[in-house]
Amino acid sequence: MALKVRFAVLWVGLGVLVAAGLLPVSAQAQAPALERRVPNAAELRLSYAPVVQRVAPAVVNVYAAKIVQNRNPLFDDPIFRRFFGVPGDAGNQLQRSLGSGVIVDASGLIVTNVHVIEGADEIKVSLADKREFEATVVLKDPRTDLAVLRIKDGKEKFPFLDFANSDALEVGDVVLAIGNPFGVGQTVTHGIVSALARTQVGVSDYQFFVQTDAAINPGNSGGALVDLTGRLVGINTAIFSRSGGSQGVGFAIPANMVRVVTTSAKTGGSAVKRPWLGAKLQAVTPEIADSMGLKRPAGALIASVTSGGPAAHAGLKAGDLIVSVDGQAVDDTNAFDYRFATKALDGVAKLGIVRAGKDVVATVALQTAPEMPREEITIRSRSPFSGAKVANLSPALADELQLQNIDNGVVILDVDNGSYASNLGFQRGDVIEEVNGAHIGKTKDLEAAAKTPSGAWRIVVMRRGQRISAVFGG
């Protein structure tokens, strides 16, 4: 793969030589329009250095550390510890991860990837000038794999990057990637935008990535992808690689999505608030396209509409095909999710619709899904649910968890590793409908049911649209 990278650099360099008139005579003979002359100093100094000097101070290294318990059960025996002289915290391991981040506000607000700081007990950031600061987590948004940090006790104005309009990017635009690959320190690579709106990456709910051939490696996660004006066009987040290193296929979260997350953090929100359509969408297959008389399978097909939601108020119906959002084309459901999620709340969006072969425009209010007290609790009583963190389900939480056709009940948010619930296979997003014949409508219902001794537990769970019945021994 190194040969391919060298070839790409050579090809770009060749373009520079052509422009400057520095090709050998034989090559110049093939291009008679080029004047044979000695290049001036400005032409010889073709460099990205001015851009790098401007943006590099706003890119930081992120160091996250967490303590992982890896205990031998014998360590819990005080006699064993005393006899063998084993300390009480024996078996605990300190795991470190590293990545990159970008300062997006002079107050010291930093955006990075969730997977860089997930589970961290301590986070530090290192600036380009080698100074280190502790950082705290302001907001985590697993749906986009974006996290916002703040420099702790920062009392100065920090350098920061402005956002570009990532929707204005075009394939072929030159971009620079800045980050901390393999922990070697701040590094700059360059390339072009290889593709836009990539949807088959699978690292977050919103599949709409900028693809670049700028070298991106482990440690670059959370780093900056900038254009030649020095503005942030994306946050580097993933690579496609068979070797673990860069193979010229990197992916960045578009700046317009990053802006939504950082705006929520600046306004003090603990979660990102996004517009809610109130409808279930499905992909348009070639068969569906043929049945609808479409030239190609494109758009987002409305499968069902939630009563009382924005889509219902806008007059949308099952069978409507969404083909644009405010004039921007929608090729598939992923494109719609991105276009709609990056709209500002409290306004409206005009959706281009194809209904029964006719073009229609529907005006949809941009409002959040209804919320209710989540009443999050972790079940500790001896039951199949021991170790499960649950909450009251609402349309807002159902939208966050990407649950379809269900917006009430009790849902599992998380399961402790090694817990009874984990060993029985309960998962995030499972909706508990019944326990021993009793309907579970609120978290307090599940808590009461879990405290009631039983010889056998009969449980009904809804998982990814499928109702599952199970019986566990007492």
DSSP state, residue 133: E
Asked whether residue 249 is assigned to any structural domain, the reply reads yes
- When mean pLDDT is compared across 216-220, 235-239, 241-245, 453-457, the lowest value belongs to 241-245
CATH number of 159's domain: 2.40.10.120
Q: Of 273, 294, 313, which closes a domain?
A: 273
Asked if residue 370 belongs to a domain, the reply is no
As a whole number of angstroms, the distance between CA 472 and CA 474 comes to: 7
> Is 412 within the bounds of a domain?
yes
Residue 406 has pLDDT above 60, yes or no: yes
Specify if 390 maps to a domain.
yes
269 inside domain: yes
Q: Is residue 166 part of a domain?
A: yes
CA distance 163 to 229: 11
pLDDT confidence tier of residue 246, bands split at 50, 70 and 90: low
What average pLDDT does range 43-53 have in this prediction? Answer: 80
- Residue 41 pLDDT: 64
Tell me: do 6 and 84 sit in the same domain: no
d(CA 237, CA 434): 40
- Is 372 a member of any domain? no
Mean pLDDT within 353-365: 94
- Pick the closest to residue 474 from 457, 450, 452, 459 (CA basis): 457
Q: Of 336, 365, 394, which residue sits at a domain end?
A: 365
Burial class (CB in 10 A: 0-12, 13-18, 19+), 193: buried
100: domain range?
Answer: 56-273
| DSSP assigned state of 295 | S
Q: Same domain for 185 and 269?
A: yes
Q: Quick check: 407 pLDDT over 50?
A: yes
Measured CA distances, 232 to 27, 51, 164, 175, 228 (Å): 38, 12, 5, 10, 10
Lookup: tokens for 233: 């066009």
- pLDDT number for residue 34: 43
Place of tokens 């849902």: 411
Residues 238 and 109 in one domain: yes
Domain CATH for 323: 2.30.42.10
Phi, psi of 356 (to 5 degrees): 55, 40
Neighbouring-strand partners of residue 97 = 64
Cross-strand pairs, 387: none
Average pLDDT, rounded, for the chain: 83
**What secondary structure letter does DSSP report for 34?**
S
Taking the C-alpha atoms of residue 97 and residue 66, their distance in angstroms, rounded to an integer, is 9
In the prediction, which pLDDT does 26 show? 30
Local confidence band at 37 (pLDDT 50, 70, 90 cut-offs): low
Helix (H) or strand (E) holding 336: helix 333-341
User: What is the spatial distance between Cα 239 and Cα 245, in angstroms, rounded to a whole number?
Assistant: 8
On whether both 209 and 227 belong to a single domain, the answer is yes
% helix, strand, coil for the chain, step of 5: 25, 35, 45
Q: How many CB atoms sit inside 10 A of residue 86's CB?
A: 15
Total domains in the chain come to: 4
Structure tokens, 43: 């032409």
| Residues carrying an active site annotation | 115, 145, 221
Considering the domain boundaries, does residue 107 fall inside one?
Answer: yes
Running DSSP on this structure, what letter comes out for residue 309?
S
Q: Both 38 and 67 in a single domain?
A: no
Tokens representing residue 287 in the block: 């068969």
**Exposed, middle or buried, 370 (CB in 10 Å: 0-12/13-18/19+)?**
middle
